[in-house]
């Protein structure tokens, strides 16, 4: 850990290298000039430029070398890009930062279905976590379940063969660390000896009503496997997570985002995490700009203290409010007009916000009327159609204006609804990686016809939706969605899995061009957050948030986009990540300086 920090510091120093001599020019001069690569601005009147100057954390000049070097002064640092490709920093439209952070520091068992992996992961988490912290969660067996299900296995076979952990696998590794892990579907938990002791679960302890303490048939000792109410015996003794641990988790997640070229996130943020963001922001450690989204049912308490969407500063702000119409595809709870193909009789379900007073239409109208932008999860075709109706009626009742309503996910859309996005000015907050993950079973569940409107990014764009891209990092409890905009762009452009399936892409007519995919990760996300004057393109006066790639994304074969590397990430003019090896820059900068 310490070593990698040192390397990082060295690499950052390498990005900030040569100082050039004065030209005698008056007026403010640039802090930094980037030259020697392609600057892809996402601005229609100057899509590509040769050089870029930064001053005070903002874009100071962009254009030809001659135009930009006019702003060079004695303190200007000139950075040689060595052919790299610079674009506006990627903004991710949908993250669950806190959950991702917890998985990074703690334990992630999504792909674990054997004791060797379990042992490795538990040991890793034990070493990373601060002393005294519990190892909790994990979600073991998710990939195993998916693999068996998609291989045609029946549910009962899956259950018979599935991985069965035992505390004996981890007890010796965790003599002082309490552990409570869970299977991905939360039907089974595994506690280690320390956790059982703290919870008072002994050989003699009776099973609680509605729960089971599994016991070894020979010795009668608890195996660590707990179900139902027995889980609560352990949960009750887990202390609240320390603030220190939350900060450590967040630092890892920030590092991951920076490595992936992400400079802004639209996050689903709980109060505890907001405190952590705020703490990191005050210390200058918040290396990603956060647009935090509380839930829609809180509109009146936020409005009561004068908070509107956009409250905060350029590092951390309250964004729109998140609502929910229906469930998700993963467990077939997304709401459809007709039943699922694999579950006749199941149309999916509505969420509490729809069913309970005051009801979602009223929450949408009320929040919008006080300047809090509703951003609502809708996945099945009926959920999307109904939500569009509710947005339409809110516009009618609150009057025309700059509403910027968002449909979050918009996974399956009926043919007639695409144009309504355009008519109502709706933002489609979609996650292209969902497409290449879910497409493996979509047609099994909703059939070929309905799948034509699934993850239909081109139809949404052509229907006039503002297309907004992101990751949903780290995904549901059965899948890991990487917070890698380059993989999102790959997914949108190829509609193929990472190993290139199916040939030509899944419903290839929905593939996007690279330029549109870049806009969906930059300027469109800035617009979705009402920040298009501050972010999302390289224009004089905007924040200097930049992502530097190792090659021209628009000249890259679609299938190769997944191999493009992020060389550096700059937020507000400050490098927050520099790839190992990019420090070769140091020499070329000196040469450039000499040559000029």
Sites of contact with Zn ion (CB under 5 A): 472
| Least spacing, CB of residue 405 vs Zn ion, in Å | 18
Instruction: For residue 129, give the DSSP letter.
Output: S
> Toward Zn ion, which CB reaches closer, 62 or 491?
491
Residue nearest Zn ion, Cβ-based:
472
Edge-to-edge strand list for the sheet holding 135-140: 107-108, 135-140, 179-183, 189-191, 222-228, 211-215
> Toward Zn ion, which CB reaches closer, 368 or 472?
472
> Toward Zn ion, which CB reaches closer, 322 or 535?
322
> Toward Zn ion, which CB reaches closer, 58 or 434?
434
| Least spacing, CB of residue 320 vs Zn ion, in Å | 14
> Toward Zn ion, which CB reaches closer, 60 or 469?
469
| Least spacing, CB of residue 328 vs Zn ion, in Å | 9
> Toward Zn ion, which CB reaches closer, 491 or 549?
491
| Least spacing, CB of residue 94 vs Zn ion, in Å | 6
Rg (CA), the chain: 26
| Least spacing, CB of residue 472 vs Zn ion, in Å | 5
Give ∠ CA 554-545-54 in degrees, rounded to 5.
Answer: 105
Angle in degrees, 0-180, between the axes of helices 381-398 and 360-369, rounded to the nearest 10: 40
Enumerate the H helices of 318-474 as residue ranges: 352-355, 360-369, 381-398, 418-424, 432-451, 457-462
Quick one: tokens of 475? 């995904």
Report whether 544 contacts 536 (CB < 8 A): no
Quick one: tokens of 211? 């729960």
By CB neighbour count within 10 A (0-12 exposed, 13-18 middle, 19+ buried), where does 301 fall?
A: exposed
Q: In terms of C-beta distances under 8 Å and separation of at least 24 residues, what long-range contacts does 51-55 make, across chains too?
A: 52/86, 52/538, 52/546, 54/30, 54/544, 54/570, 54/573, 55/28, 55/29, 55/30, 55/31, 55/573
| Least spacing, CB of residue 322 vs Zn ion, in Å | 9
The residue among 34, 4, 12 whose CA lies nearest residue 546 is 34
| Least spacing, CB of residue 556 vs Zn ion, in Å | 29
> Toward Zn ion, which CB reaches closer, 145 or 472?
472
Q: How many helices (H) and strands (E) does the chain have?
A: 21, 24
> Toward Zn ion, which CB reaches closer, 69 or 481?
481
Report whether 29 contacts 62 (CB < 8 A): no
| Least spacing, CB of residue 286 vs Zn ion, in Å | 21
């Amino acid at each position: 850990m310490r070593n990698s920090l040192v390397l990082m510091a060295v690499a950052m120093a390498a990005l900030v290298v040569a100082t050039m001599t004065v030209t005698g020019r008056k007026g403010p001069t640039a802090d930094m000039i980037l030259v020697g690569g392609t600057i892809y601005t996402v601005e229609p009147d100057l899509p590509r430029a040769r050089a870029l100057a930064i001053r005070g954390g903002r874009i100071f000049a962009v254009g030809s070398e001659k135009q930009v070097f006019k702003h060079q002064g004695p303190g200007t640092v000139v950075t040689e890009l060595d052919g790299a490709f610079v674009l506006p920093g990627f903004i991710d439209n949908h993250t669950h930062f806190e959950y991702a952070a917890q998985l990074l520091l703690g334990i992630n068992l999504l792909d674990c279905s054997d004791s060797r992996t379990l042992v490795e992961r538990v040991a890793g988490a034990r070493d990373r976590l601060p002393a005294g912290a519990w190892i909790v969660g994990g979600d073991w067996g998710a990939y195993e379940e998916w693999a068996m299900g998609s291989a045609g296995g029946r549910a009962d076979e899956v259950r018979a063969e599935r991985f069965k952990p035992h505390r004996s696998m981890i007890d010796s590794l965790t003599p002082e660390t309490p552990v409570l892990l869970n299977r991905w579907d939360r039907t089974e938990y595994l506690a280690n000896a320390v956790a059982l002791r703290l919870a008072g679960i002994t050989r003699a302890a009776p099973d609680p009503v509605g729960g089971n303490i599994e016991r070894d048939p020979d010795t009668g000792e608890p195996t660590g496997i707990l179900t139902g109410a027995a889980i609560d015996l352990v949960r009750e003794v887990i202390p609240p997570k320390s603030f220190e641990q939350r900060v450590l988790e967040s630092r890892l997640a920030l590092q991951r985002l920076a490595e992936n070229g992400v400079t802004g996130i639209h996050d689903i943020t709980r109060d505890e995490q907001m405190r952590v963001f705020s703490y990191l922001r005050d210390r200058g450690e918040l290396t990603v700009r956060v647009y935090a989204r509380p839930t829609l049912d809180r509109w009146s308490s936020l409005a009561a203290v004068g908070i509107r969407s956009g409250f905060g500063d350029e590092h951390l702000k309250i964004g729109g409010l998140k609502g929910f119409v229906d469930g998700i595809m993963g467990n077939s709870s997304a709401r459809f007009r007709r039943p699922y193909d694999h579950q006749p009789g199941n149309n999916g379900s509505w969420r509490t916000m729809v069913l309970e007073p005051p009801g979602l239409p009223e929450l949408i109208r009320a929040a919008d009327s006080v300047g809090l932008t509703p951003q609502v999860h809708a996945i099945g075709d009926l959920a999307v159609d109904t939500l569009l109706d509710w947005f339409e009626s809110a516009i009618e009742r609150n009057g025309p204006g700059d509403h910027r309503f968002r449909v979050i996910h918009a996974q399956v859309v009926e043919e007639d609804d695409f144009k309504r996005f355009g008519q109502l000015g709706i933002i489609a907050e979609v996650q292209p990686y969902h497409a290449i993950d879910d497409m493996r079973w979509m047609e099994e569940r909703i059939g070929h016809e309905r799948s034509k409107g699934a993850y239909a990014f081109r139809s949404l764009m052509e229907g006039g939706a503002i297309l907004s891209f992101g990751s949903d990092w780290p995904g549901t409890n059965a899948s890991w969605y990487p917070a890698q905009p380059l993989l999102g762009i790959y997914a949108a452009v190829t509609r193929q899995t990472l190993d290139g399936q199916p040939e030509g892409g899944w419903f290839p007519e929905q593939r996007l061009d690279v330029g549109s995919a870049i806009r969906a990760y930059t300027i469109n996300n800035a617009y979705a957050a009402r920040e298009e004057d501050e972010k999302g393109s390289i224009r004089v006066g905007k924040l200097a948030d930049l992502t530097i790639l190792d090659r021209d994304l628009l000249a890259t074969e679609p299938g190769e986009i997944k191999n493009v590397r992020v060389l550096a990430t700059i937020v507000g003019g400050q490098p927050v990540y520099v790839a190992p090896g990019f420090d070769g820059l140091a020499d070329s900068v000196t040469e450039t300086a000499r040559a000029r």
